[in-house]
Amino acid sequence: LRTLHLGTPIGQSSMRLDRPFELVHPYNRALMSFLLFAPRARDVVMIGLGGGSVPKFLHRFAAGIRTRVIEIDADVISVARSHFQLPDDDERLQVIHGDGARYLRDHRGGADALLLDVFDGLGTPQDLYSQEFFDDCRAALAGGGPALVHLWSFDVQFNLFVERIGRSFSGRVLKMPVREGDSTIIVGLPAEAGELSWTTLAERAALLETAYGIEFGAIVEDLKAANPAPEGAASDRVPLPGASAARLAT
């Protein structure tokens, strides 16, 4: 097992040398759940590269998806390619050395899904996740595409970050606890996504689990347990306020 560290004992990402494209960490597999909300996604933007586990997986196993990754540290890009088998750029993968916040401000409405996995050697950069930043995340999405934000559950600003994501997405957020770790994925869904049922998510999970070998069924179960329906609401409806009349395609 090879693990990336940024000057501290905290591991950023890992790769099995005999299975380099496997998603080792549960939070990496949980980030792949963007496919539950955007099964027809073709353009994925990711802020934060680390060892490149998710973009590498998408490049290898999801031929129909184009991935753009923005990473502020040139050394991280170099190490991901020299030690973690991240492929060179091509028509389906582009790794951009730059500021992710500035990139989102300058590229609006171009992403079918947005994945945020931003950590330095000590955790989430506390000055990055401002309200303006999450507003830019919302603006970067096309239509009803989701934003998935990887947070440490014990971060002192966890609740503040969740509140900010909620404001940017008009309260349409879901908490996705990650098994075998101290992480939570926050899913923000624009109003254009419409309503969604747990049955639909479970059906998608079964198909995706077969296609990618990721435990999507268990992820949906954890989502449902962490996001119960309000009293009096339909039990099969995913609790997302302010949904339009539109429905996500099955």
Q: How far apart are CA 147 and CA 52, in angstroms?
A: 18
CA distances from 91 to 39, 80, 94, 118, 135 (A): 20, 19, 8, 24, 29
Q: Given the residues 43, 88, 117, 135, select the one marked as catalytic.
A: 117
Q: Which long-range contacts (CB under 8 A, 24 or more apart) does 15-19 make?
A: 15/51, 15/53, 15/84, 15/85
Structure tokens belonging to residue 83: 């030690």
**Could you confirm whether 117 is annotated as catalytic?**
yes
Give whole-number Cα distances, 89 to 35, 64, 92, 95, in Å: 23, 16, 8, 7
Q: List active site positions.
A: 117
